[in-house]
Amino acid sequence: MKLNEKILYYRKAAKLSQEELAAQVGVSRQAVSKWELGDATPEVDKLLLLARAFGVTTDELLSGDEPPRPAPPREEPPAHTAPAAPAGDNFDRTAGLIGRLVRRYGWLTGVYIALSGLGTTVVGALARWGFGAMFAASNDMMNSVGGFGSMGSVEFSPGTPPEVQQAILEELGYGSAASPMGRVEGFFLGFPTVIIIIGVVMMIAGAALAAYLYQKGNKQP
């Protein structure tokens, strides 16, 4: 291979234009064109600059041997990437995780129900105690004055036992269940009783549910 052919070969291998090579060597583009056509030969100092621009030695540039062909670029094997999990698999895994949590900690639902029942029972008991105290004070006041509203008054002789007084008053309609005051008292004392019963049922059901779910969760992996 002649010198002009090598200059052309190395310039293209280095991906340089004639203008870029001329700028690195310090000559005009026409001078580079003449070198590649074989119409002119570069001076010794230009040979050194050409070899440096091409990344070769002057011996390789001046040798008549063909330059070694560049090895083809090595293709790297594609990096192994795990296939993306289908959307259905992600949903199944999420559902399975939720199911395991429910099986393992579902007994807390029973505890919550039992505690709610305890709170309901306490509220009902307080309401019944409060209404009972209120109506007891009201009955004592009515008994002390001997009547209420248009019923008139009842006088007892000194020394009459309280139970006898109460029996007489009930016979006359004071404080009995059939009187308006008795019906009101029965309602206000019966409503808290229903709340207490509901609270007790919730406590029993919640405790039973918590025990059942706890045992079931511990048996399953």
**Chain segment 127-182, per-residue pLDDT in tens:** 888 877 887 777 666 655 544 443 445 566 767 777 776 677 666 655 554 455 56
61-111 pLDDT, tens digit each: 787 777 666 544 455 555 555 555 555 566 667 666 666 666 677 778 878
Alpha-carbon distance 191 to 177, whole Å?
16
Amino acid identity at 25: V
181-211 pLDDT, tens digit each: 566 777 777 888 899 999 899 889 888 888 8
The answer to whether 124 and 131 are in contact (CB under 8 A) is: no
- Angle, CA 200 vertex, CA 195 and CA 201 arms, to 5°: 100
User: For residue 139, what are its two tokens?
Assistant: 């009955």
- Return the H-helix or E-strand segment holding 185: helix 180-219
In 94-194, where do the E strands start and end? none
